[in-house]
Chains A and B, each alone.
Chain A
Amino acid sequence: MAIEVPENVVVSKLDSLANWCRKNSLWPMPFATACCGIELMATAASRHDLARFGAEVMRFSPRQCDLMIVAGRVVMKMLPVLQRIWQQMPEPKWCISMGACASTGGVFDTYSVVQGIDRFLPVDMYVPGCPPRPEQLIQAVIDLQDEIQRRGTLSGREFQTRARQEPKRALVELPIVTVPRGAGRLSHGTLH
């Protein structure tokens, strides 16, 4: 049975309509801790103009955001702050890990730098680069928009399936190379 609709009416699914609304008005939470933050600012500024993709409303309150952009290295003293900000953001929410440091720790494989925020947070998009160009970040936002349109559901079911598909990464540090602990008085003229 065909239903007569006027020409200016489009039929769609509610999921797809909601996702279309969501993807075109992402409100980013700029979590900028290092030089990637400068590129993030450049992305939002007039030349690259993130507003073209509907993501220009940088909010500094996590309660008004649905996209967290982690730009820069995160040290272990900062990670509880990052996690709290993530928890304060309302659902549905997404996360972009911008740059080598946020994604993997980068060159900072030291005692204090977290080796990739995806060990402790769900991450949707990774942006390579040190720091990435604004175009790369824009590409990540566009890809995330595609992902939201394609996989998003009103009930947030996609996060459930994703949590099932990607088990937690094993939290194992690399083996520690032990240096023999020096005696109180070091032997004279030895080169270890």
Chain B
Amino acid sequence: MTDPQTITALSSEFAGISTSEFRGETRVVVPRESIYAVLEFLRDKRGFDFLADITCVDYLNYRDAEDRFGLVYVLASTASNERVNLRVFLNEPDLSVPSAVPLWEGANWMEREVWDMFGIRFEGHPDLRRILLPDEFTAHPLRKDYPLQGRGERHNFPVLQRATS
């Protein structure tokens, strides 16, 4: 649950914040320009000391969707058990947000995973490489326009035979 005071504080501090609630989970939509400031505010002023997750949703072909990507930050406070979900909507061609690594070291690998799977750039990330897929992979396969059966990446290997003595 998110403390209503957190929402009030966010709304008074930043412009363009909208919130919604579903089954006890609060979702806060943050404009891309202020995401870093919002994260910093929540960490320093509201006691959200734990970044639980960074992930992404591709809304291509999604009914009633206005934006392509929804970047999701899940924050938690270990003192008050408070939780909040932040969402930043991104559209092509400018898919970049400031990195959260200066705030939480744990954002490092999560941002690398989002980059690997969705191709969202995190500006200021110390080491933005692929984390799961091979380095020579060229696509971002969790995007909805990536074909289910691959683009031939699975076949770029030599075929081995037994040594014929």
| Contacts from A to B (Cβ < 8 Å) | 76-77, 79-80, 83, 86-87, 91-93, 109-115, 119-122, 155-156, 159-160, 163, 168, 171, 173-174, 176-179, 181-182, 184-186, 188-192
* CB <8 Å contact, B165 and A155: yes
Residue count of chain B within 8 Å CB distance of chain A: 38
Assembled-state Cα–Cα distance A142/B66 (Å)? 61
Q: Given contacts A111-B153, A155-B165, A176-B147, is CB(A87)–CB(B61) below 8 Å?
A: no
Taking CB atoms, residues of chain B closer than 8 Å to A177 are: 147-148
Taking CB atoms, residues of chain A closer than 8 Å to B152 are: 173
Taking CB atoms, residues of chain B closer than 8 Å to A76 are: 134, 153-154, 157
* CB <8 Å contact, B162 and A91: yes
CB distance from B86 to the nearest CB of A (A): 22
CB distance from A112 to the nearest CB of B (A): 7
Taking CB atoms, residues of chain A closer than 8 Å to B63 are: 189-191
| Contacts from B to A (Cβ < 8 Å) | 59-68, 91-93, 133-134, 139, 141, 144-155, 157-165
* CB <8 Å contact, A163 and B61: no
5 tightest A-B contacts by CB? A111-B150, A159-B162, A160-B164, A176-B147, A192-B61
* CB <8 Å contact, B66 and A77: no
Taking CB atoms, residues of chain A closer than 8 Å to B155 are: 119, 171, 173
Query: In this complex, which of A159, A184, A192 has the most chain B Cβ atoms within 10 angstroms of its Cβ?
Result: A184
Taking CB atoms, residues of chain B closer than 8 Å to A93 are: 162
Number of A-B contacts (CB under 8 A): 111
Assembled-state Cα–Cα distance A53/B103 (Å)? 59
Taking CB atoms, residues of chain B closer than 8 Å to A178 are: 147
* CB <8 Å contact, A83 and B158: yes
Taking CB atoms, residues of chain B closer than 8 Å to A190 are: 63
Residue in B92, B144, B157, B163 whose CB lies within 8 Å of A83? B157
* CB <8 Å contact, A121 and B160: yes
Residue in B64, B91, B146, B157 whose CB lies within 8 Å of A185? B91
Assembled-state Cα–Cα distance A174/B159 (Å)? 19
* CB <8 Å contact, B141 and A111: yes
Assembled-state Cα–Cα distance A102/B62 (Å)? 35
* CB <8 Å contact, B163 and A91: yes
Task: Give 8 A-B pairs besides A91-B163, A112-B133, A186-B67 with Cβ atoms closer than 8 angstroms.
Answer: A77-B134, A83-B158, A115-B154, A121-B160, A173-B151, A176-B147, A179-B60, A182-B68
